[in-house]
Structure 1
Amino acid sequence: MANRYRIGLIDGDGIGPEIVPAAARVADQALAAVGREVDWVPLELGRTTIDKYGTAMPEATLAALDDLDLWILGPHDSASYPPEHRTGLTPGGVVRKRYDLYANIRPALAHDGVHATNPDLDLVIVRENSEGLYADRNMARGTGEFMPTPDVALSVGVITRAATRRIAVSAFELARSRRKHVTIVHKANVLSMTTGLFRDVCREVAEGYPDVRVDDEHVDAMAAHLVRRGGRFDVIVTENLFGDILSDLAAELAGSLGIAASINTSATKAMAQAAHGAAPDIAGRGVANPVGIIGSTAMLLEWQALRSDDMALRTAAENMRGAIGETLSAGVATADLGGTASTASFVEAVLGALEGPGR
């Protein structure tokens, strides 16, 4: 039915079973208000499936994802897995590679009511997600790291024209819906062939977007700029490792990694996954911050809205973000933001905000 969507729901490890269902609750209420419904498809991966099936990434889960275009993935804590399950791809790595989720979109927004090092921050980091120096992404077989001797370790970084072009297009298309400004981040003064290629291909793509202002920065200078003058940036496009580091920095400058939303997309599939990890030290205590995964779920709905031309989904996504903002502005916050709210009480406050005027 046109008004129903099937979305996978994967709790994952650590705080995942606390925050992922919370995101589904918020999405259900926001969607019901605009006449849309979700058939949630519960799926498993992570530590519990190692105990049940002997693998962190069950084939049944992958088979189900093959038939889904949208899913929410909770964090995984592969560092806690038994030693024999720590080699090879992580569950998230398997999913990214299998479905070629090449674009990792990570906004950083400073909210009223949240103490932010940079209160003017409102930017999006568009991170190339399929290659670079990440060993689980840059080889057809095996990894990109190897040791010719026990005392020497080497890593292969891969930058291709094709992958750079498609992430650059994603960045420039996004910029057209925002403030029409793209900053290309690289390190071409040292890594002249690899990140130099990335910079140059992004500049080539920029020629097709004369309405978008373009500049570029070295990654070390960019880190300093984010701290001092992050409010001047709009869309930042960069390769994998740089994007991972800069997006975590931007999230903390905005207030906390716990509020950092993120989606991973291909041309046909999208996965909501908060930028933070599994936080095993607070798992089960009911104090985890659900803002990141709720915001990621809103991004997932917005991605589907553009793909299916269903603007009701965009309205639901905007209302979810608005309810998060109102809740934080009212001083309701979890401990990582200096508040006293539990996960459950924070979610109840967001649900209450969704019932406010205009929603």
Structure 2
Amino acid sequence: MKFGVFEGDGIGPEVTSSSRQLLTSVLTHVGADHHIESMPLGFSSINFGDRSPDPDMIALAQSCDGLILGPVDFGNYPPSELGALTPGAMLQRSLDLYATVYPVRTLSGITPPQIAPFDVAIVHLNEPGYVMNEGQGTVNEMMPTSEVAMAVRKITREGSTRIAQTAFEAAERRRQSLTVVHQTDLLPLTEGIFMESVQELAPDYPTVRVNELRVEDTIGVLINAPQDLDVVVTSNAIGRILTDLATSLSGTSGVIGKLLQGSSRVMVQTHHGSAPTIAGQGQANPSAVLFSCAHMLSALGHRHRRQPLVSAATAILDSLSGCLAQPAQRTSELGGPLSTHEFTELVIAGTLDRLPEPRG
């Protein structure tokens, strides 16, 4: 199994180094054949005169089962008309990573005490919808006159079917509950295609309970009873809003990550930024990329029917949660005494303690 590590900007090289350490230790422990290759990628590696993706980068990515993309400094990227595509946009487009999955969970010691524990996976389309195509300008917007602005939304049946399948498979592995969030009352055509695609797949997953909610009702459930949600599937713009709300409620914006999934590979990416002000100081909190790596191993383990990877993912999640629950076991960014490297070593040790001893 091959993994590609793209360092990104700011604290990216530090937190992706942590992910590489974790993967190497855990995969070696469970006896999984693996190869990990790192490659600088981010603001410093962009060729501003060439809009095309770096062929070496894409070739490496296409050869991998799993990819790790460090945080990127979006704020300092030049305008798209100058030829700069962000790394995430290049990889997502080139690898056909059509689904974004945000696993959001409360964490002891991190989540505000008044929030009831919850664990939800929010799955959304990567089709642009109302969101502009990165690197191509606001192609979904137009101004027929200086006083009128219009937006065009794109939803396809193929994209909706693929995202629905991703969500159903996630629900099967979790608590067999899928909530479909929509706005069919306002957008009957585009939301209609999305809803029809989910409904048509439902008979193929008889163990999964399917519930439908409007956006405004889902917001109410997230605020008042988030524990009632398991897997949520929706379109791009709605998914981004629900994810931001869920992470804000859980207090975990800086410690959770996300998965971008396609039919052949999985890429992880942090939810937080590149934190350039603390880059190179050993203060960075690598939890988001480590959590993401755990979910990547779980996704690959289920996809390839390799239970040791699934067990490794569970051990990583439990070790991370245990470390973050104790202030004395956190990085300085979270008010603890540990460096990035010390925290990573602690998480690795806790993970290996939770796994069976290697055979032979």
Q: Give the structure-1-normalised TM-score.
A: 0.89
For residues 256 and 239 of structure 1, the distance between their equivalents in structure 2, rounded to whole angstroms, comes to 23
Name the residue aligned to 1:250. 246
Q: Which of 157, 162, 167 lines up with 1:161 in the alignment?
A: 157
Name the residue aligned to 2:8. 12
Q: Which of 215, 229, 253 lines up with 2:225 in the alignment?
A: 229
Name the residue aligned to 2:185. 189
**Does residue 1:270 correspond to 2:239, yes or no?**
no
Kindly provide the CA deviation profile for residues 28-64 of structure 1, in whole angstroms up to 9, marking residues without a partner as x: 1111221125322112322111379977952221122
Q: Which runs of 5+ in 1 are unaligned?
A: none
Name the residue aligned to 1:212. 208
> CA 1:85–1:18 in structure 2 vs 1: closer, same or farther (change >3 Å)?
farther
TM superposition shift of 1:342: 3.3
> CA 1:177–1:281 in structure 2 vs 1: closer, same or farther (change >3 Å)?
same
For residues 116 and 193 of structure 2, the distance between their equivalents in structure 1, rounded to whole angstroms, comes to 34
Q: Which of 334, 341, 345 lines up with 1:344 in the alignment?
A: 341
In percent, how many aligned pairs have the same letter? 33
Higher mean Cα deviation, 272-281 or 238-247? 272-281
Kindly provide the CA deviation profile for residues 260-289 of structure 1, in whole angstroms up to 9, marking residues without a partner as x: 121111111211112223233433343322
Aligned pairs for 1:44-63 (under 5 A) are 44-50=40-46, 57-63=53-59
- Could you tell me whether the CA contact under 8 Å between 2:3 and 2:35 is conserved in 1? yes
Q: Give the structure-2-normalised TM-score.
A: 0.88
For residues 242 and 231 of structure 1, the distance between their equivalents in structure 2, rounded to whole angstroms, comes to 20
Aligned-partner SS, 1:72:
strand
- Could you tell me whether the CA contact under 8 Å between 1:78 and 1:86 is conserved in 2? no
Aligned pairs for 1:97-246 (under 5 A) are 97-116=93-112, 118-136=115-133, 143-246=139-242
- Could you tell me whether the CA contact under 8 Å between 1:121 and 1:230 is conserved in 2? yes
Kindly provide the CA deviation profile for residues 213-271 of structure 1, in whole angstroms up to 9, marking residues without a partner as x: 21111212212321211011001000111112211221222222122121111111211
Name the residue aligned to 2:256. 260
Aligned-partner SS, 1:288:
coil
**Does residue 1:77 correspond to 2:78, yes or no?**
no
Aligned pairs for 1:281-320 (under 5 A) are 281-320=277-316
Task: Give the total of aligned pairs.
Answer: 354
CA RMSD between the two structures:
2.7
TM superposition shift of 1:323: 1.2
**Does residue 1:67 correspond to 2:63, yes or no?**
yes
> CA 1:160–1:120 in structure 2 vs 1: closer, same or farther (change >3 Å)?
same
**Does residue 1:325 correspond to 2:321, yes or no?**
yes
Aligned-partner SS, 1:75:
coil
- Could you tell me whether the CA contact under 8 Å between 1:120 and 1:231 is conserved in 2? yes
Give the partner amino acid of 1:130.
Answer: E
For residues 130 and 53 of structure 2, the distance between their equivalents in structure 1, rounded to whole angstroms, comes to 23
Kindly provide the CA deviation profile for residues 60-104 of structure 1, in whole angstroms up to 9, marking residues without a partner as x: 211222322321111222321344676664221121111110111
Q: Which of 348, 353, 356 lines up with 1:356 in the alignment?
A: 353
For residues 228 and 334 of structure 1, the distance between their equivalents in structure 2, rounded to whole angstroms, comes to 31
Give the partner amino acid of 2:161.
Answer: R
For residues 158 and 198 of structure 1, the distance between their equivalents in structure 2, rounded to whole angstroms, comes to 11
> CA 1:308–1:190 in structure 2 vs 1: closer, same or farther (change >3 Å)?
same
Q: Which of 25, 30, 33 lines up with 2:29 in the alignment?
A: 33
Give the partner amino acid of 1:258.
Answer: G
Kindly provide the CA deviation profile for residues 109-162 of structure 1, in whole angstroms up to 9, marking residues without a partner as x: 1122323353411111111113322221799x9832334445544332111222
- Could you tell me whether the CA contact under 8 Å between 2:102 and 2:121 is conserved in 1? yes
Aligned-partner SS, 2:257:
coil
Give the partner amino acid of 1:67.
Answer: S
Give the partner amino acid of 1:70.
Answer: G
Higher mean Cα deviation, 241-250 or 32-41? 32-41
- Could you tell me whether the CA contact under 8 Å between 2:115 and 2:249 is conserved in 1? yes
Give the partner amino acid of 1:296.
Answer: S
Aligned-partner SS, 1:9:
strand
TM superposition shift of 1:11: 0.6
For residues 274 and 84 of structure 1, the distance between their equivalents in structure 2, rounded to whole angstroms, comes to 22
Higher mean Cα deviation, 339-348 or 92-101? 339-348
> CA 1:136–1:354 in structure 2 vs 1: closer, same or farther (change >3 Å)?
same
Give the partner amino acid of 2:158.
Answer: A
Aligned-partner SS, 1:262:
strand
TM superposition shift of 1:344: 2.6
> CA 1:311–1:208 in structure 2 vs 1: closer, same or farther (change >3 Å)?
closer
- Could you tell me whether the CA contact under 8 Å between 2:46 and 2:84 is conserved in 1? no
Give the partner amino acid of 2:350.
Answer: A
Q: Which runs of 5+ in 2 are unaligned?
A: none
- Could you tell me whether the CA contact under 8 Å between 1:287 and 1:335 is conserved in 2? yes
